[in-house]
Amino acid sequence: MNHLIKIFKGACVGLGSILPGISGSMVATILKIYTELITALNNFTKRPIQAILSVWQYIVGVILGYVIGFLFIKVFFENFPIPFTLLFIGFILGAIPSVTKEIKESKRVWHHYLVMAFSMIFMVLFLFVQESTATSGDWTYYLVVFLIGLITAAALITPGLSAATLLMALGYFHLLISFVDDFGAALLSGNFTEVINFLPLLLILIIGVIAGMIIVGKIMYQILQHYKVHFYFAILGIIFISPFNILFELQTSTENNVFNQSWVTWVSAGLLFIVGFYITYRLATKDTITEGTHD
């Protein structure tokens, strides 16, 4: 059962990483697995096998979340934008108590609150980042794919930084979606010649992700070691402002008014919000009980 819970948490991180306005690392933080993942990343260059084995459930979950996200992201956002979005907002807000628990016993000073204010301002400013268009040639296409992997990894590890939003700003998000869609279609259709043609790009994408995760992972490990309270205050600021960012990104990514929905849609969205809130809260509570039992 514990393995399934970890896989589920990893899937939430994977989904959060590719949804505009949501940060996968923030999801990992509020699910209380961020430190564990960063520690594994920091140890990867020293003891790679041991590091992978310590978080293999989360890795499986993240991959599962990516697959589900890329398969259904268009369907959900085109047909159920409000319920799907409020479910994730429920996930985020439901974990506020677990984040505050990390700083409850620490001495709080003015610069902690300053960090929280800066994180909120950063999130608001991020709303004004507009999507651009990217062009790619022959060799530049490979460079762009490597950059996509690097940016995705950096955003996955840096709390509050939405990989999807950042890729949109650089004009690479739709390129990534198209690449995954084309590769998936070739794989499902059994067109292995096309699959083989995709392998060099896929390898470059993976190299970019690994490079980004190792470099940024080591930086975040040092921050957690020396500025843990500042880190969690920044997370609180991000959580408070995230619902507004998510709803804003939802509207800007569609042509129609997504808020003009029937009462049935809003009722179902409210119920999903409660479900998301409850699931995250219960996961945090279970972790607390487990830690107390081990002590």
Per-residue model confidence as pLDDT tens digits over 189-239: 777 777 787 777 778 877 887 787 777 777 877 887 888 888 888 878 877
CB contact at 8 A, 100 and 219: no
Residue with tokens 């022959």: 138
Output the pLDDT for position 294. 41
Residue 291 is predicted with a pLDDT of: 40
Task: Quote the pLDDT of residue 10.
Answer: 85
pLDDT digits (tens, 9 = 90+) for 12-32: 888 777 765 566 777 787 777
Per residue in 49-80, pLDDT tens? 888 888 888 888 888 887 777 766 666 666 77
What is the pLDDT at residue 21?
Answer: 56
pLDDT for residue 271: 92
Q: How confident is the model at residue 114 (pLDDT cuts 50, 70, 90)?
A: very high
pLDDT of 281 higher than 70: yes
Q: What is residue 213's predicted lDDT score, i.e. its pLDDT?
A: 77
pLDDT range class, residue 44, cuts 50, 70, 90: confident
CA distances from 72 to 14, 18, 23, 75, 237 (A): 13, 11, 18, 5, 30
